[in-house]
A and B are shown apart, each in its own frame.
Chain A
């Protein structure tokens, strides 16, 4: 594995600046598929160790209860121009993985929340948490699976109780153009927020 495709494994030497986008969603929602659709490299997998979120305090010993687990994380890459590269990290959204993806979200362009309309409730926790954080731009991308009922944007917004300013897009994660459009919508949103913030300060 280490020797496979090592010729095109590397970036041009001119690249100076990495940026990243996070793809967060419940199990099986299509994170890896979306990363694979747009990535210029075969998606790679790494392990990240993290301390479990919501770990309590052992009151007897007075020491924080530390529990570290290992989470697999997929990622891909898009070289945007001769000096700029974008990394896409897919991470599970459940509460116990918050420490992982919140760490990844720091300094990120934004977060794409991938949802499956058959299991909308699986995305509630992650949406709550992103709204609470407030500082990370995010949009919702509804991954269109076949045999799923169609809902209007209004219905979806209501069902997820989205803030009016949170954009929502639909995509088939297997389709490169649609997946690119979802990323573009996220960066567009992040750009607008960032411009507004600059004007305000």
Chain B
């Protein structure tokens, strides 16, 4: 049996985790994208330990960055894992502002109002 600590520190590990890919299948997921597991869709037995861990983490709503931090995995890896799980319908994504655009005035006013109320 290999030492799990040693395994985790290996530079090859992230590559293995994501099935040899270094890019997510979709570009809509961002650090602030909110993730929520689909309770009606259990994972197949073939799912990886990391996919299971991510799905379990997202039983309730949180952002991709938070999931990465709690799982102690790099954001880039969680983005790839989450993309696959969104594609397969296991994970629901609530996205932020698309990269090419900026928030519209009414959304910004809502942010402003929220901050002022909490001040």
Interface residues on B, range: 35 or more
Q: What residue of chain B has the Cβ atom nearest to residue A44's Cβ?
A: B69
Across the interface, do A86 and B72 meet the contact criterion of CB distance under 8 Å? no
Which of these, B75, B94, B104, B116, contacts A18 with CB under 8 Å?
B94
Interface residues on A, range: 35 or more
Complex CA–CA separation, A44 to B68 (angstroms): 10
A73 CB contacts on chain B under 8 angstroms: 75
Complex CA–CA separation, A108 to B113 (angstroms): 17
Across the interface, do A180 and B60 meet the contact criterion of CB distance under 8 Å? no
B94 CB contacts on chain A under 8 angstroms: 15-18
Q: Is B87 an interface residue (CB 8 A)?
A: no
Complex CA–CA separation, A73 to B65 (angstroms): 10
Which residues of chain A have a CB within 8 Å of any CB of chain B? 1-2, 9-13, 15-20, 41, 44-49, 70, 73, 75, 77-78, 80-81, 84-87, 89, 104, 106-109, 135-137, 177, 180-181, 183-184, 187-188, 190-191, 194-195, 198
Beyond contacts A20-B32, A46-B74, A194-B103: 13 other A-B pairs, Cβ-Cβ < 8 A, are: A15-B94, A17-B107, A18-B96, A19-B107, A44-B70, A46-B68, A48-B74, A75-B65, A77-B63, A84-B110, A107-B100, A191-B108, A198-B104
Which residues of chain B have a CB within 8 Å of any CB of chain A? 30-34, 36, 60-63, 65-66, 68-72, 74-76, 94-105, 107-116, 118-119
